[in-house]
Each structure stands twice: as structure tokens, then as C-alpha cells.
Amino acid sequence: MIIAIDGPAASGKGTLARRIAAHYGLRHLDTGLTYRAVAAALLARGMPLGDEAVAIATARNLDLGHLDRELLSSHEIGEAASRIAVLPGLREELVRLQRAFASEPPGAVLDGRDIGTVVCPDAAVKLYATASPTERAKRRTAELLSKGKEADLETVLADLQRRDARDSSRSVAPLKPAEDAHLLDTSEMDIETAFKAAVDIVDSVRAA
């Protein structure tokens, strides 16, 4: 079984995906980390972010089963990842790797921005997690502060809105819900409520 969870940054999709994967005994892949891993490698080697051939070669050396969320969580890496995500050849290579990961038994939960539309259009269940920009900014700010990092709501909100605009307007695989995705607005939900709502959706689709 493949479950696709898409949504903008700080919508709660990553936490949901990890919880759902554990609940159903499936593997989990945060596809955003694949872009961050490539970006981090390019930055570490001082390579230009616009060199598609180098980015593709870097992607081919990734181990999708061992991506370190903490190491890849910096703002600098996130910005670089958003920039290289527009490279069509790199996207094609990473999508190939992501599909291979998803197809291995017993299945997987993948979260990202184009899982239900591009990576796994035939996923058994598709969820699109969203929340208001202000709520998402509050969550991201709290997350950063809890890690001892500097953050203020206004700056985080502006950053999220800039990334939303870039992700939703790009020509290749723009951020948007799949036509058959179940929308889950988590603006007024804590993680437990959102998780239960998501499980209800998955169970209802499986029972249909």
C-alpha cells in the first residue's frame, strides 16, 4: 500500500506521515529531504546550485533509507533545496528514486509536494494537508525556538509565503492537490486530532 501526503511547508504533513507509517507498519520517506540532501552535498562541496548535471550525479549517490532530518534541517539548506527543486533533470532522477522506494513491499508513506500528482499518482490513498499561513508560521517558529534557534513570527511567515509562491508557480510539478486527494485542513487541529482524521480517511478508502 502506498499513501501519498502532500502539502505546503509546516502544514503538519511530515509528522502525520511518520505517525501513519508507524500505525500501518509501512516505511516512510520525506521526499523533501531528498532535495535537501542533494542541496547540502552541493553546498558542502562549494558547487553551483544551478549545475544540473552535478546535481543529478549527486542524487544518484543518495541512500534514501538514511537521510538525517536534523542535519538537513537548516534554513540555508532549505532555501538551496527550494532552488534546485526547479531543475527538471534533477526532479526526474529523484522521482525515479522515490518511486523505487515506494514500490518495495510492504509499501510506504511518502510526503512532499508532488507525491499524489507526480511521484505516485496511483497511490491507494492521497491526502493533502494544509493550514493557514499564519498557523503554519506559528508552528515553524515554535519548532525553531524549541531547538534553540532564533526565529520571529513575521520573518518565518514571510519566508513561508515566499516558498509557497515559488512552489505553486513553478512550471515543473507545481504544488497543488491531486484531483482525488482528501483535503485535511489542520489549522484548528492538534497532531492527535489530525492523525485520527487521517486514519479515518485511510481506513474508509481501504474499506471501500
The pLDDT tens digits of the residues spanning 149-187 come to 899 999 999 999 998 888 888 777 788 999 999 999 999
Task: State pTM to two decimals.
Answer: 0.91
Q: Is 11 annotated as a binding residue?
A: yes
Question: Residue 101: helix, strand or coil by DSSP?
Answer: helix
Q: Is 25 annotated as a binding residue?
A: no
Q: Is 78 annotated as a binding residue?
A: no
Report the C-alpha dihedral over residues 54, 57, 62, 64, rounded to 10 degrees. 100
Q: Is 10 annotated as a binding residue?
A: yes
Write out pLDDT tens, residues 75-121: 899 889 989 988 999 999 999 999 999 999 999 999 999 999 999 99
Q: Is 8 annotated as a binding residue?
A: yes
The letter for the amino acid at 137 is: A
What is the architecture, at CATH level 2, of domain 2-195?
Answer: 3-Layer(aba) Sandwich (3.40)
Q: Is 9 annotated as a binding residue?
A: yes
Q: Is 14 annotated as a binding residue?
A: yes
